[in-house]
Structure 1
Amino acid sequence: MPDHTPRAMVQEPYGFLSYGRNPESPESYEPPDELLVRFRGRLSRHLRELTDLRAGIDAVYLDKEIPVGSAWKDVLKDRLARCQVLVPALSPRLFSSKWCALEWECFERRQQLQRDRGTFIRDAIVPVLWAPLRPDEIPPPYSEVQYTHRDFHADYQRLGLLGLYGLGRHTTANGIAFQLAQTIARVAVMARLEPCDPGLFDDLFDSMNGSAGEEHDA
């Protein structure tokens, strides 16, 4: 019988938020992806409240926080090697992003390593329905993971979080954020995904032909 008891030392951060970046818009003074950044903040706060995560540690990692001048590829590889749950924000930009595909492939490689060891329990992936999407608009491999739940508000499946925020349905959207935090915390304990050597991803990153300092998007 699988051991679902909490580990004495958890991996950090809890979640790695994978998303397709929006371009700068000359029509708006609001930074691109501002709504997603706010959602990440709320999700992180709930995870801190629901878990015993130490102060000063990322609850949900977002690549906008990579320090200027840092070796950003090494930072990304490190987070992908240590995070407990991959959290892809489903949207057309995510599906067309080569970097998001890379993040998924890195995480799947890490899960496969645990499958090969015979200790794999379940996928440690919790998708977020960000944009309003029909099931036939979600391509593999994202379509192969459950992204809606019976306990979530029906309008979440119809509108996505972006639609809920856009229509001023903040109370509903915030409730979904709390339920997603609960799901991430539960999946982290159930999956018990082990960290790996970041070098496991070296060939995948090398194939991207990106240079240091370059924005990692599609």
Structure 2
Amino acid sequence: MHEYEPRASVQEPYGFLSYGRNPESPESSEPPDELLVRFHGRLSRHLRELTDLRAGIDAVYLDQRIPVGTEWKNELKDRLARCQVLLPVLSKRLFTSKWCALEWECFERRQQLQRDRGTFIRNAVVPIRWAPLRPQDIPSPYRDVQYSHQDFHKDYLRDGLLGLYRLGRHTTANGIAYQLAQEIADVAVSSRLEPCDPGLFDDLFDSMNGSAGEEP
């Protein structure tokens, strides 16, 4: 009789949320990106329910949760080197953010490393439709990703999660969060993207010094 060996989980965290930050608004008392933070919590909870993620580990990385005193550039490099799936939050602020472009370039460099090794299986990028965007509004490289979510609710494809939340369509938005968690878990397991040395990104981060402010 063979001794039972538990299945090893994929590396953690499962996802890295790449998003363009909203500025403070004098017209509103709501913190910037409050809806995104709530969505992050729901998405993370679903991933814990769907996977064997260990307690105390981030299911989805969100840079607002960097502990005070942390060397944040090293933190970002480490998470980009270990996360299993990149989750670009599609919005006009994402498309104009130099830091989001950097995160994409780091993740793509990591995927290219695996292509060079001959072990690449599938693209480990799952975009999240946040703002209502027409197809022509989405620039390359984001529009080149094949995940179009055609099985998702048509209103999500048209209005994005932000539109659904703002229109009071919370039940639909919450269902989309669950579908996204399922897709992220599937991509994480099937892509088997290997972690890399965070030093692979040093030159990319160095190139940002003095060109895009102190923090993403």
Number of residue-to-residue matches in the alignment: 210
Work out whether 1:140 is the aligned partner of 2:162.
no
Write out aligned runs for 1:192-203 (5 A): 192-203=192-203
Aligned to 2:56: 56
Aligned to 1:102: 102
Aligned to 2:24: 24
Aligned to 1:67: 67
In structure 2, runs of 5+ residues without a counterpart are 1-5
Q: Secondary structure at the match of 1:25?
A: coil
Q: CA deviation at 1:85?
A: 0.2
Q: Deviations over 1:135-189 (max 9, x none)?
A: 0000000000134322200100110000000000000000000000000000001
Aligned to 2:3: none
Where has structure 1 moved over 6 Å in runs of 4 or more?
none
Q: Following the alignment from structure 2 to structure 1, what is the Cα–Cα distance between the partners of residues 148 and 168?
A: 21
Aligned to 1:185: 185
**Alignment check: 8 A CA contact 1:16 1:61 kept:** yes
Work out whether 1:162 is the aligned partner of 2:156.
no
Q: Secondary structure at the match of 2:39?
A: helix
Q: Secondary structure at the match of 1:156?
A: helix
TM-score normalized by the length of structure 1: 0.93
**Alignment check: 8 A CA contact 2:14 2:184 kept:** yes
Aligned to 2:118: 118
Matched to 2:163, the amino acid is G
Q: CA deviation at 1:210?
A: 4.8
Q: CA deviation at 1:191?
A: 0.3
CA 207–115 in structure 1, closer or farther in 2 if over 3 Å, else same: same
Q: Following the alignment from structure 2 to structure 1, what is the Cα–Cα distance between the partners of residues 70 and 143?
A: 34
Matched to 2:171, the amino acid is T
Matched to 2:116, the amino acid is D
Q: Secondary structure at the match of 1:73?
A: helix
Q: Following the alignment from structure 1 to structure 2, what is the Cα–Cα distance between the partners of residues 61 and 214?
A: 20
Q: Deviations over 1:98-142 (max 9, x none)?
A: 000000000000000000000000000000000000000000000
Matched to 2:65, the amino acid is E
Q: Following the alignment from structure 1 to structure 2, what is the Cα–Cα distance between the partners of residues 210 and 53?
A: 38
Q: Following the alignment from structure 2 to structure 1, what is the Cα–Cα distance between the partners of residues 123 and 215?
A: 29
Aligned to 1:3: none
CA 210–56 in structure 1, closer or farther in 2 if over 3 Å, else same: farther
Q: Secondary structure at the match of 1:201?
A: helix
Q: Secondary structure at the match of 1:184?
A: helix
Residue identity over aligned pairs, in percent, reads: 84
**Alignment check: 8 A CA contact 1:132 1:159 kept:** yes
**Alignment check: 8 A CA contact 2:165 2:173 kept:** yes
**Alignment check: 8 A CA contact 2:47 2:185 kept:** yes
**Alignment check: 8 A CA contact 2:9 2:52 kept:** no
Q: Following the alignment from structure 1 to structure 2, what is the Cα–Cα distance between the partners of residues 41 and 104?
A: 22
Q: Secondary structure at the match of 1:94?
A: helix
Matched to 1:84, the amino acid is Q
Q: Following the alignment from structure 1 to structure 2, what is the Cα–Cα distance between the partners of residues 208 and 190?
A: 33
TM-score normalized by the length of structure 2: 0.94
